[in-house]
Structure 1
Amino acid sequence: MKQFTVIDAHCDTASELLDKNECLFSNTGHLSIEKMKGYQSYVQFYAAWVSKREKNPLLRAVEIIDRLKCELEKNKEYMEEIRTAEELNSVLARGKRGAVLAIEDARALCGSLSALRMFHRLGVRAITLAWNDNNDVTDGAASERGAGLTAFGKDVVREMNRLHMMVDVSHITPRGFWDVLEHTNAPVLASHSNAAAVCGHRRNLNDEQICALVQSGGMVCVNIYPDFLTDGKTADVTDVLRHTDHILSLGGENSLGLGSDFDGVDRLPQGFFGAEDYVKLFNEMSRCGYSDALIDKITHKNMVNFMERIEK
């Protein structure tokens, strides 16, 4: 049986490890080092999620990142932190596991570009500009106002470009999305978003947005949360393929990736219990006629190329 390589652009496991006082190697969540063992190599983007309830969002993000770094130090024989495309390629070439640090909701910056630069020095390489709520960078997907980038938000995008960080547009408003594309000079990441044409949830991207990401060298990483997959109450692996098929039909062969949302959702598709079950999706892709070369692009190669483009 083929052993797949995985790069997953979004999970909330780091926050859960802190809140539940659990371990990276083995835990009760969707994702652990143990659950990655069935793959040739596995690289995970770990997001420090900061909610609007936090009185000190910067401190919250630092605490999550600190806990993850402590866990990485304890498990350094199994998993390495990744900061560059060169380090990513090294991890994959050696068949190892890797961690990319991210932040979900730029409210963690507390309105400070200095905080952004310090997070970069800590190893953070991607930031989701908002969650569902509004912040001082942009409005989120649940916003009634629906505003786009603020003046500070535009500064954040420009500074992230300068630092070669990945600007993540999942969760932000359509207006915010288009503002980012107008002000960025680098390709953009949608770390865990699906196709609105397949499932009309407010968190999903419409065809115009997907095409814009494809044409600009960005990434659309498919989320496996059932609410974002189908209008029904349950979903299965075939629903994930409805989204990948649609994105591919829009020219997304070189822009399609994975963004599970593990440990950030209360349900997974039927037959999925965690990262160990990604193989079921890949086998279904193969059964439905996806070539090995295309599956490799979706599972990891497109993200490798994207990170290389970001650094250029």
Structure 2
Amino acid sequence: MKRWDLHCDALSKMILASDIRFEDDRRLDVTAKRLKEGGVQLQAFAIYVPEAWKGRPFDAVLASVDAFEQRIASRPDILPIRSKQDIETLMRPGETRIGAMLTMEGADALEGNLAYLRIAYALGVRTLGVTWNVANWAADGVREPRGGGLTAAGRRLVAECDRLGMTLDVSHLSVKGFWDVLETSRHAPIASHSNAKSLCDHPRNLSNDQIRALIAANGRIGITFVPYFLRSDGREAGIDDVLRHLDYVCGLGGADHVGFGSDFDGIETWVKGLEHPGGYETLAERLEKNYTSEQVEGFLRRNWLSYYQGRFM
């Protein structure tokens, strides 16, 4: 049974170290070798602007795309995913390549210029997280004290994403921004890497109302493997904690709307047994003991697959 993972930060490491190689580099959580070990069929690679690139944000986007193209997508075992046709190719019987899709974490790098958004889309970016934790020109992030929503420019950004077919990602977005996106966009957004706030009271997690709203809109939620988004007592997180959050979202009616977004390479502590994509094999075994085969297929792949089949133009 193949797996889809909708968030990792390997590219931000790769643009800081030109000698990192994707095949099997100990500096990366996500490598080609580990994706194969874990049976990952599609991995989303987020473009994020590291602190060292803050003065040249769109240059960081271009450097990330170049790293993706030269060091990941150029490999014979990788299939870049940009269209519905690419997904259909990925799903053909006997296809062994791993799908790789570009996303962007935070609209900061677009510098308020919708031409940059269109360029990013032309270069293969298919999902846009509106913010990281702090405020930018489009909206406030979850760590911005004022808690504002979309700006006027942010509303124009949403409209252009709708026109292009760019999926909006509400992970990291302020609570007001979350509701603004649901109200403003014609399309259901995703939360690519967020958990249940009722189980772990962290600002990056989603309230029951937010989870229900994403479900009602036919959006998707990616349970993430960030230990301090899984439990708030400081104790070591394990696969049981991942299952707890998955169970909770299912209990709110989200069995057909939940998948995984690991945040590998964006974390410095790991869930025991899920330290890299190879751990998906263990996670799948645990899921199979608790859910039907159809449900497990949904969590690991089909829920993301059905969403993007409907979103790609």
Q: Same fold (TM over 0.5)?
A: yes
Partner of 1:72 in structure 2?
72
Does 2:12 match 1:15? yes
After TM superposition, the structure 1 = structure 2 runs for residues 68-147 of structure 1, keeping only pairs within 5 Å, are 68-75=68-75, 77-93=76-92, 94-147=95-148
- Distance apart, 1:102 and its partner CA: 0.9
Give the TM-score taking structure 2 as reference length.
Answer: 0.95
SS at match of 2:13: helix
Q: Aligned Cα RMSD in Å?
A: 1.4
Partner of 1:44 in structure 2?
43
Partner of 1:27 in structure 2?
25
Partner of 1:243 in structure 2?
245
Structure 1 counterpart of 2:274, from 250, 272, 275: 272
- Distance apart, 1:302 and its partner CA: 0.7
Deviations 1:221-246 (A, max 9, x none): 01101000001221000000110000
Deviations 1:35-91 (A, max 9, x none): 12235552111001125660121111111111111113541x110110013312311
Give the TM-score taking structure 1 as reference length.
Answer: 0.95
8 Å Cα contact 1:193/1:222 also seen in 2: yes
- Distance apart, 1:18 and its partner CA: 2.0
Deviations 1:113-172 (A, max 9, x none): 110001000010011110011100111111101100001111111111111111000001
Does 2:175 match 1:174? yes
Partner of 1:215 in structure 2?
216
Distance in 2, Cα, partners of 1:40 & 1:15: 23
* Alpha-carbon distance change, 51 to 40 in structure 1, aligned in 2, over 3 angstroms: closer
Gaps of 5+ in 2: none
Partner of 2:186 in structure 1?
185
Across the two proteins, how many residue pairs are aligned to each other?
A: 307
8 Å Cα contact 1:52/1:133 also seen in 2: no
SS at match of 1:254: coil
SS at match of 1:145: coil
* Alpha-carbon distance change, 40 to 231 in structure 1, aligned in 2, over 3 angstroms: closer
Which of 89-98 and 277-286 deviates more?
89-98
Structure 2 counterpart of 1:5, from 2, 5, 25: 2
Does 2:166 match 1:165? yes
8 Å Cα contact 1:41/1:96 also seen in 2: no
Which of 94-103 and 118-127 deviates more?
94-103
8 Å Cα contact 1:222/1:244 also seen in 2: yes
